Structure 1
Amino acid sequence: MSARSKARKRALDILFQSDVRGDEVAVTLAAEAKRAAGEPAREASWLYAREIVDGVIDHRDDIDEQISTHSRDWKLDRMPAVDRAVLRIGVWELLFNDQVPPAVAIDEAVELAKEFSTDDSGAFVHGVLARISRSS
C-alpha cells in the first residue's frame, strides 16, 4: 500500500472518529498529531493525512455542498458516517488538490468505501464523485 493510500486511511480514521464522537475535527486532528509525533516511521503518511484533513476543514462548506448537490436524494446526515468521510476526502482531492488525477481520487475513495462501509457504498461513492468530477 502506498504512503498516500495509508494517508487517506488515516484521514478517514480522523474524519470518521470526529463525526461519530461529535467532536470538532480540529480536536481529533490535534490528538492524532500528538500520537503521530511518536511514530517517525509513519511520517510520510501522516503528512498527507494532515493535508487532507486540513483541506477538508478549510473547505468543509464547499465540500458538503458538492456532496449534497450530487448525491441524488441522499442527505448528508442520512449517509453512513464512513461514506460521509470518504466522500469528503474524495471531493477535497478532486476539487482542491491538483496533484491527484481525478481517476485516482475516485478510485481511492471507492476502495476505502468498499473496505470500510456497506456493500453498496463503493458504487454510491463512485456515482457521487463521478458526477462532481464531470461538473467541475
Structure 2
Amino acid sequence: MSARSKARKRALDMLFQADVRHESITAIVGAEARRAAGEPDREASWLYAREIVDGVTDHRDEIDELIMSYAQGWTLERMPNVDRALLRLAAWEILFNDEVPTAVAIDEAVELAKEYSTEDSSRFVNGVLGRIADHAQA
C-alpha cells in the first residue's frame, strides 16, 4: 500500500472519529500527531493525512454544499458516517489538490467504501464524486 493510500485511510479515520464522537477535529488531529511522533516510519503517511484533514476542515462548507447538490435524494445526515467522510476526503482531493489525478481520488475513495462501508456505498460514492469531478472540470 502506498504512503498516500495509507494517508487516506488515516484521514478517513480522523474525519470519521470526529463525526461519530462529536469531538473537535483539532483534538483528534492532536491525538494522532502524538501517536505519529512515536512511529517515525509512518511520517510520510501522517503528513499527507494531516494535509487532507486540514484541507477538508478549511473547505468544509464548500465541499458539503457540493456533496448535497450531487447526492440526489440524500442529506448529509442521512448518509452513513463513513460515506460522508469519504466524500469529503475525496472531494477535497478533486477540488483542491492538483497533485492527485481525479481518477485516483475517486478510485481510492471507492476502494475504501468497499472495505469500510455498506454494500451499496461504493456505487454511491463513485456517482457523487463523478458529478463533483464534472463540476470541477466545468
Structure 2 length-normalised TM = 0.97
- 2:118 is equivalent to residue 118 of structure 1: yes
* 2:113 maps to amino acid: A
After TM superposition, the structure 1 = structure 2 runs for residues 92-103 of structure 1, keeping only pairs within 5 Å, are 92-103=92-103
* 1:23 maps to amino acid: E
After TM superposition, the structure 1 = structure 2 runs for residues 123-134 of structure 1, keeping only pairs within 5 Å, are 123-134=123-134
The RMSD of aligned alpha carbons is 0.6
CA distance in 2, matches of 1:26, 1:124: 29
- 2:97 is equivalent to residue 105 of structure 1: no
Moved over 4 A (4+): none
Shift of 1:77: 0.5
CA distance in 2, matches of 1:92, 1:27: 21
CA distance in 2, matches of 1:94, 1:27: 26
* 2:133 maps to amino acid: S
**Percentage of pairs with the same residue:** 69
Shift of 1:28: 0.7
Aligned to 1:37: 37
Shift of 1:115: 0.5
Q: Which 5+ residue runs of structure 1 have no aligned equivalent?
A: none
After TM superposition, the structure 1 = structure 2 runs for residues 24-103 of structure 1, keeping only pairs within 5 Å, are 24-103=24-103
Shift of 1:25: 1.1
Aligned to 1:3: 3
SS at match of 1:77: coil
Q: What number of residue pairs does the alignment pair up?
A: 136
Shift of 1:40: 0.2
Shift of 1:30: 1.0
CA distance in 2, matches of 1:134, 1:31: 36
